Amino acid sequence: MDKNKIILPSTIVSPTDIARLVREIETVDDYFRQLEIRGKEKTIPRMSKLLDSTIAANQLSIDDSANREHIVQGLQTVQTSAPIMHISFSVDPPGSHVQSLVTWLRKNIDDNVLVTVGLQPNIGAGCVVRTTNKIFDLSLREYFTSKRDFFTKILHESMQESQSDQANSKNEQVSVISGATT
């Protein structure tokens, strides 16, 4: 096992979360160093939910400087080498849905995959997934574009039927009117 390997909880979703965690751990590390210099008793500062979940997932203690260094190195490794997927939706998805998606991606694609979520209101429904070298357009807009010929054919047939029905209706009216005058 890689010594810099850490387990990312599903609450850590994006590269921004990684950068925020690194800054927070460095702040906590500074806090503990200051306590040592001043000779004060170690008290654990308040931490964010992201840091709490990271510490719990890796079964580490934050008051040990070696553990803090391990987490920082592991996060920096993830930051530089993790695959990043950009997923755009037409509306902002709930956080629980994004976490479920990240959990699935980490189970089936890569342990350290990171996801950035974007908004593209013009896609209608579905999503657009971009990686470093692929784009997967799973949107309603793309589906309709791919089926354009089919929909055009249906529309023309419907219009022809409508025009035919209108012509028949006019002929019936003319025959009723001409029958009434004779």
**What φ, ψ does residue 81 adopt, rounded to 5°?**
-120, -10
Strand spans (E) along the chain: 84-89, 114-119, 126-130, 135-139
pLDDT(108) > 90:
yes
Order the strands of the 114-119 sheet from edge to edge: 114-119, 84-89, 126-130, 135-139
The residue ranges of every structural domain in the chain are 1-82, 83-138, 147-181
Distance CA 81, CA 101 (A): 20
Tokens of residue 53, six digits: 């979940």
What are 22-63's pLDDT values in tens digits?
A: 999 999 888 888 888 887 777 777 888 888 888 888 888 888
pLDDT tens figures, 127-156: 888 988 898 888 877 777 777 788 778 877
Residues in a beta bridge with 154: none
* Token output for 17: 């979360």
